């Protein structure tokens, strides 16, 4: 595995000239191929990938069974428009997913292309089914960059800055995250949950009456907001409010779902029943595909034609997704997630206990192979951030991620806080996980010593 940085190649320079400035990049390089947990760049460098395309290639790059299924489908039907007729992979995928749903009531499916589109569909379904307009989303939540999804995204202003006015009828509720609430990280989850549920009561009394509220939208584990699992008692509290007030509960499993947290879906940890659930990312291991699933009684309130899209539920993507579901079962992927998760958190907590690093670490958190480490910051989010530390190195998360990149590993920051997230492949080997943890530890120690 090659390390260090390299000059920008002519092809990468061409991309810098002609690809829109609105698209950011972490690596100014061209990826030629991927295999398992590794990618190979145009300049010959091989890098360990702890990003998985932001939680997409969950079975590693170019899993042979998934790629083979897609290739075979390419010689049958590449595109069969979903508003014209059924196609076989679409229906075969539903058969597999029915066995995986976190609640048997989730029995009506629509497949689209991306997570943002799935959120758009979920918002339309909620409004149509309830006859109400308003949506409550979470502070710190991320749901996409299309118009409606951008309005309910509250993880950072960079996704919507300059694009207002956004879709109306959206209200924000504090997510049960200690840092956003100004509570110590050691605060019991029951106390954090109670504070946020109290705010929900106020929100429904002060800003959007229940009779005007169509849905509450939440990620069971915050993605872009910092990889924060929601306490089960908070999710159960949301379910109680929704049941009492006739509000639909939309569970966004786009990033935290499909095995990422050690269960098929993160909502399973709480036992809460979604009214609507969105999925994408790891569903087809890199082929564009998303889904929105609800109860038939809700979905049947929609008029034919109100959902659709030229490429929705593409046949090749659905065939790939069928293979993904088969691999999950036959290769015991969840068993590997839970085994490697114990090793990952043991490594991160060992770093947290190390005298060199400990003063600069605020939190280690997550579920399964969706893990994060939050660093201290000398500035925080502003002068009123009570967790600022004047002696902390500046921009620690960004600098550590860059140093990991120089050492041959891709890893990402996230949120408005100093957070690095770990998103390795769900079938990563014990050896590759240990290598990634060693690279991270070396990178952090070096950056901390630099100050």
The CATH number that applies at residue 154 is 3.40.640.10
How confident is the model at residue 196, as a pLDDT? 98
Distance of alpha carbon 264 from alpha carbon 327, whole angstroms = 13
**Which percentage of the chain shows pLDDT scores above 70?**
99
pLDDT digits (tens, 9 = 90+) for 303-354: 999 999 999 999 999 999 999 999 999 999 999 999 999 999 999 999 999 9
pLDDT surpasses 60 at 216 = yes
How confident is the model at residue 261, as a pLDDT? 98
Distance of alpha carbon 146 from alpha carbon 249, whole angstroms = 21
Q: What domain count does the chain have?
A: 2
Last residue of a domain, which of 330, 346, 380? 330
Range(s) of the domain holding residue 372:
10-49+333-450
pLDDT band at 26 (very low <50, low <70, confident <90, very high): confident
Q: Report if residue 43 sits inside a domain.
A: yes
373 and 232 fall within a common domain: no
Half-sphere exposure of 370 (CA within 13 A, CB side): 33
318 and 352 fall within a common domain: no
pTM, rounded to two decimals: 0.97
What is the per-residue burial (b if ≥16 Cβ within 10 Å, else e) of 385-421?
Answer: eebeeeebbebbbebbbbbbbebbbbbbbbbbbbbbb
180 and 33 fall within a common domain: no
pLDDT surpasses 70 at 4 = no
Q: Report if residue 60 sits inside a domain.
A: no
Distance of alpha carbon 35 from alpha carbon 41, whole angstroms = 12
pLDDT band at 448 (very low <50, low <70, confident <90, very high): very high
Distance of alpha carbon 175 from alpha carbon 180, whole angstroms = 8
The owner of tokens 């088969």 is: 326
**Length of the chain as a residue count:** 451
The owner of tokens 């689209």 is: 112
How confident is the model at residue 1, as a pLDDT? 59
190 and 130 fall within a common domain: yes
- Which residues, other chains included, contact 229 with Cβ-Cβ below 8 Å and sequence gap of 6+? 220, 221, 222, 261, 266, 269, 365, 366, 367
Rounded to a whole number of angstroms, the CA Rg of the chain reads: 22
Mean local confidence (pLDDT), 438-451: 96
Last residue of a domain, which of 297, 330, 363? 330
Number of CB atoms found within 10 A of residue 182's CB: 11
407 three-class SS: coil
308 three-class SS: coil
89 and 197 fall within a common domain: yes
Mean local confidence (pLDDT), 410-425: 97
How confident is the model at residue 392, as a pLDDT? 94
Tell me the two tokens of residue 130. Answer: 């309830």
pLDDT digits (tens, 9 = 90+) for 356-408: 999 999 999 999 999 999 999 999 999 999 999 999 999 999 999 999 999 99
Could you write out the DSSP letters of every residue in 191-215? HHHHHHHHHHHHHHHHTS-GGGEEE
pLDDT surpasses 70 at 423 = yes
Mean local confidence (pLDDT), 252-278: 98
Mean local confidence (pLDDT), 113-127: 98
Tell me the two tokens of residue 418. Answer: 């100093």
């Amino acid at each position: 595995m090659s390390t260090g940085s390299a000059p920008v190649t002519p092809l990468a320079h061409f991309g810098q000239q002609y690809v829109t400035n609105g698209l950011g990049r972490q690596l100014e390089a061209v990826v030629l191929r991927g295999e398992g947990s590794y990618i190979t760049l145009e300049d010959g460098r091989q890098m360990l990938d702890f990003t998985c395309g932001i939680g997409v290639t969950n079975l590693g790059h170019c899993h042979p069974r998934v790629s083979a299924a897609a290739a075979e489908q390419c010689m049958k039907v590449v595109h069969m428009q979903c508003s014209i007729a059924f196609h076989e992979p679409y229906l075969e995928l539903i058969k597999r997913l029915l066995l995986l749903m976190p609640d048997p009531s989730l029995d009506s499916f629509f497949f689209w292309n991306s997570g943002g589109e799935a959120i758009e569909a979920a918002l339309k379904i909620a409004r149509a089914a309830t006859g109400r307009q308003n949506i409550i989303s979470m502070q710190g939540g991320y749901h996409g960059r299309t118009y409606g999804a951008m309005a309910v995204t509250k993880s950072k202003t960079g996704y919507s800055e300059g694009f207002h006015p956004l879709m109306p009828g959206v209200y924000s509720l504090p997510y049960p995250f200690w840092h956003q609430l100004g509570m110590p990280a050691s605060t019991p989850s029951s106390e954090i949950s109670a504070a946020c549920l109290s705010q929900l009561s106020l929100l429904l009394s002060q800003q959007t009456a229940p009779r005007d509220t169509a849905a509450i939208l939440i990620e069971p584990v915050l993605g872009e907001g910092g990889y924060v699992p929601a306490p089960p008692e908070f999710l159960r509290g949301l379910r109680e409010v929704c049941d009492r007030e006739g509000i639909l509960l939309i569970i966004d499993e786009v990033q935290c779902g499909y095995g990422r947290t050690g269960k098929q879906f993160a909502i399973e940890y709480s036992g809460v029943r979604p009214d609507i659930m969105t999925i994408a990312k790891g569903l087809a291991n890199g082929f564009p595909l998303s889904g929105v699933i609800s109860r038939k009684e809700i979905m049947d309130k929609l008029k034919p034609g109100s959902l659709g899209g030229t490429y929705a539920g593409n046949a090749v993507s659905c065939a790939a997704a069928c293979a993904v579901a088969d691999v999950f079962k036959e290769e015991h992927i969840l068993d590997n997630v839970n085994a490697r998760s114990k090793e990952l958190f043991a490594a991160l907590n060992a770093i947290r206990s190390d005298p060199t690093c400990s003063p600069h670490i605020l939190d280690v958190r997550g579920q399964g192979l969706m893990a994060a480490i939050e660093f201290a910051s000398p500035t925080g989010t502003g002068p009123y951030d009570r967790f600022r530390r004047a002696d902390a190195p500046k921009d620690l998360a960004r600098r550590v991620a860059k140093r990991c990149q120089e050492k041959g590993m891709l890893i990402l920051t996230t949120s408005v806080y100093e957070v690095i997230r770990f998103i390795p492949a769900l079938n990563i080997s014990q050896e590759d996980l240990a290598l990634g943890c060693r690279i991270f530890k070396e990178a952090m120690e070096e950056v901390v010593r630099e100050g």
